[in-house]
Amino acid sequence: MNHYQAIIIGFGKAGKTLAATLAKAGWKVAMIEQSDTMYGGTCINIGCIPTKTLVHDAEEQRDFASAMQRKSAVVGFLRDKNFHNLADLDNVDVINGRAEFVDAHTVRVVQAHDEQELYGEKIFINTGARSVFPNIPGLKTTPGVFDSTGLLNLTGLPARLGILGGGYIGVEFAAMFARFGSKVTIFEAAGEFLSREDRDIAGAVATILKDEGVELILNAQVSAVSSADGAVVLHTAEGERTADALLVASGRKPATESLQLQKAGVEVNERGAIVVNRYLRTSAENIWAMGDVTGGLQFTYMSLDDYRIVRDNLLGEGLRHTGDRQNVPYSVFMTPPLSRIGMSEAQARASGAEIQVVTMPVAAIPRARVINDTRGVLKAIVDSNTRKILGVTLLCAESHEMINIVKTVMDAGLPYTVLRDQIFTHPTMSESLNDLFTLIK
């Protein structure tokens, strides 16, 4: 049995970065990855990198086939780079196979024609999350039904794309495929679209999607899915709807089922997420968990911060923990992108704070006129007493870059006047923050 100071299960952002750091510190490290198509993790292979590459090419009006070819080239390049970043280190062994615990220090790696057991002084779980399919008859067995991974591997553009689920993943794919030329229909079971967003923001997103030709059906109760004449048939209370492909965008759950965590004494919650303390330590003293598998926010940058916490715990002063995190932003890469940080207006009002809320149309921004995309709205919420920013929502071109400026000000505890009076280059989208916060009285 091979002995390692660290066994890392899963080649995702947190795991691969930790592996390299520990190896460079002199540790002997085993990196176990189930699939050789997943070096680098979800983001590089089936998440943000391929989707954002396709979003870019859709905006550039590249045809679907060439966009998919370029996506594959980008992913292939980054996957190979990530593999060699670890495999070329003398004290890292990259091992392909499915990992399962034998006990708190022993991991069995099940391979196609063999298996081996490894001993780890410390073990780190970074197995990510997987798509969830609702319990709808026919959904898992009907040809033409895909999760996001499957849809990213299509070779031809579906003329009609159905999307089951109107959350952020569904919105991103809807915008992308509509731009490529698909007739897209979103089937959302809830009666409210994007329930985490304020109603004015959700309405603005819906308007942009509809202007792109996307049909949005709320209260869509799909009772069954079947196949007819090569098409996917959705059986709803209002009748049958057909599509050439159906994307299931109903969320993701931690990928823990096959790990045999109980044998290692690792506790999970009711959703299968690994329970960790604020230092990301599990109920087993020598085992940590990082990234999506802990059931938290499923962002690559959160996984990177998990790595920072574990690194500090192992090699630093042991002071970093999840409670240090402030104001986590997110972006939905529709066109134009939706980005938010902090509270929504509804959350701010529920908090009892005395607030001011201002909005500004994107059409008022000179840069938006220059780039010929005046769609969207900017929104800010400020505490009237402390003058601190409570939340900002940006639905506009370049919002995914602008939101990071807002985060820096919020994390520093600075008043909104810093952005109101900041000197920005012109003409840029960022300088619109001057005008937005000038509206605060």
Beta strand 92-96 pairing with 355-361: unpaired
What is the chain's length? 441
Angle between helices 300-315 and 13-24 (to 10 degrees): 30
Rounded to an integer, what distance in angstroms lies between the CA atom of residue 142 and that of residue 131? 16
- Spot the catalytic one: 3, 84, 321, 426: 426
Q: Catalytic: 426?
A: yes
Residue 90: alpha-carbon gap to chain centroid: 32
* Secondary-structure breakdown of the chain: helix, strand, coil percentages, each rounded to the nearest 5: 35, 25, 40
Question: What is the identity of the amino acid at 356?
Answer: Q
Angstrom CA distances, 44 to 8, 37, 155, 192, stand at 18, 10, 19, 32
Asked if residues 201 and 393 have their Cβ atoms less than 8 Å apart, the reply is yes
* Interacting residues of 223 by C-beta distance below 8 A, sequence separation 6+: 136, 137, 235, 236, 237
* Interacting residues of 287 by C-beta distance below 8 A, sequence separation 6+: 104, 122, 123, 124, 125, 264, 266, 281
Rounded to an integer, what distance in angstroms lies between the CA atom of residue 21 and that of residue 139? 43
Rounded to an integer, what distance in angstroms lies between the CA atom of residue 104 and that of residue 302? 26
Extract the runs of DSSP E, i.e. beta strands, from 111-250.
Answer: 115-125, 129-131, 145-146, 160-164, 183-187, 215-217, 222-228, 231-236, 239-243, 245-248
Active-site positions read: 426
